[in-house]
Amino acid sequence: MSTNPAPVIPTSANPVPQDPPGVDSAEPTRVPWPAVAVYTVLACGLAWLVTIPLWLGDGLADPKFTWLVLLMMYTPTVAALIVTFFIVKPKYKARYLGLTPFKPVVRSIVLILVWPIVFGLLAVSAAFVASLFGWVDFGFNASALEEDAALAGMSAEALALLSIAMTPLIVVQATFAAFGEELGWRGFLVPALKPLGFWPMAIISGVIWGVWHAPIILLGYNFGRTDIFGVLLMIVFCFFVGVILNWSRLWCRNVWVAAVGHGALNATAPIGFLFVMNFDPAGGLTQTVVGAPGWIIMAAIIVVMAGLGLFGKRLPKPLVTVPAKHLSGGHPAPRGAGVSNPTAEPAVGTPEWAQGYVPHTRNAPDAPSTDRGGER
């Protein structure tokens, strides 16, 4: 017995929804839970494997820390490629992961250019919010740069201005590292969890992303905590920033914008330290953008975005599109445009989670959307 929903009968009062040219859907309508589980185990397991030398060595003070963390940041990419190619196996793998196409071009470029400004202001604003709660004294902390400025033969103020001017280059460098994470979190996990709706997807992906950081958080990274509480704090941060980056993935339909956003966050976060007069490296919870000050500001931004409908009806549909040469154009979609034929019974033995890759044909009656986040 077929489980496909009954077609919508078009009438003048109930016209058939029409997608604009070039946006036939090839995304899953059900969450591939086995793939999500394997991805999570692989990403987290590989992260622990890569950081073993830090645990056996000097932890955060280990001279290999930077390089090992860089390798750790690419474990989500390895996990995403494995599950995409060997478990999910969508027809358009690069499109599923958000690698292609880079469209909409203008929207993507604008957001890429805006990210450093947004996250730079977020870092400084976090320091200011922390001062409002009495957690820090707000002001330009020249002493934080005096040692480096002396080595460079310039004043601390000049070095600060130079650092800000070089932010675009630092963002580019940071993006190469951030891409290793983003191909996993926003490339694979967002389309995989998207059938749940935006908020369940944001919560689940935020928890997984936060737990993935455990190998370095438990060494005292970010919060100066070496217990489970530090991991819980990281989960909260990952949820808030994940909502914004997840939105960019859905809004621009590619992973590159999210990668630059993540890179901009990493590159500009230290700017906030320059405006904390009594900065304490162990005060991540109350003094930095990854702690409560950043959470407060991001929560306010998210509330405004939600009020504008940016997490629901205004999100473009679908996320994963069919290449133009394979569009139906008024004719039946080519066989294999998705994992399954929308009108055919699933093959015997096909697990339920794998039955959901259904191509959306523009000129055919549209079935009710499985996306709780808005309309088609």
Q: What is the pLDDT of residues 305-316, one digit of tens each?
A: 999 999 988 888
Its pTM stands at 0.81
> For residue 260, what are the CA distances in angstroms to 108, 157, 248, 265, 352?
10, 28, 10, 9, 35
Which band of pLDDT confidence, cut at 50, 70 and 90, is reported for residue 146?
confident
Q: Provide the percentage of residues in the chain whose pLDDT is more than 70.
A: 79
For residue 87, pLDDT beyond 80? yes
Q: Which two tokens stand for residue 78?
A: 């390895």
Q: What is the pLDDT of residue 21?
A: 44
Q: What is the pLDDT of residue 351?
A: 42
Q: Which two tokens stand for residue 313?
A: 């009806």
Q: Which two tokens stand for residue 157?
A: 């103020």
Say how many C-beta atoms besides its own lie within 10 A of residue 177's C-beta: 21
More confident residue, 34 or 320: 34
Q: What is the pLDDT of residue 260?
A: 98
Which band of pLDDT confidence, cut at 50, 70 and 90, is reported for residue 25?
low
Q: What is the pLDDT of residue 145?
A: 77
Q: What is the mean pLDDT of residues 268-275?
A: 91
- Torsion sign, CA atoms 265, 297, 188, 95: negative
Domain ranges, ordered by start, for the chain:
89-307
Q: What is the pLDDT of residue 320?
A: 82
Q: What is the pLDDT of residue 348?
A: 43
Let me know if 322 is exposed, middle or buried by CB neighbors in 10 A (0-12, 13-18, 19+). buried
- Torsion sign, CA atoms 144, 149, 150, 154: negative
Least confident span in 217-226, 241-250, 357-366: 357-366
Q: What is the mean pLDDT of residues 141-151?
A: 77
Which band of pLDDT confidence, cut at 50, 70 and 90, is reported for residue 15?
very low
Q: What is the pLDDT of residues 88-143, one digit of tens each?
A: 999 999 999 999 999 899 999 999 999 999 999 999 999 999 999 999 999 988 77
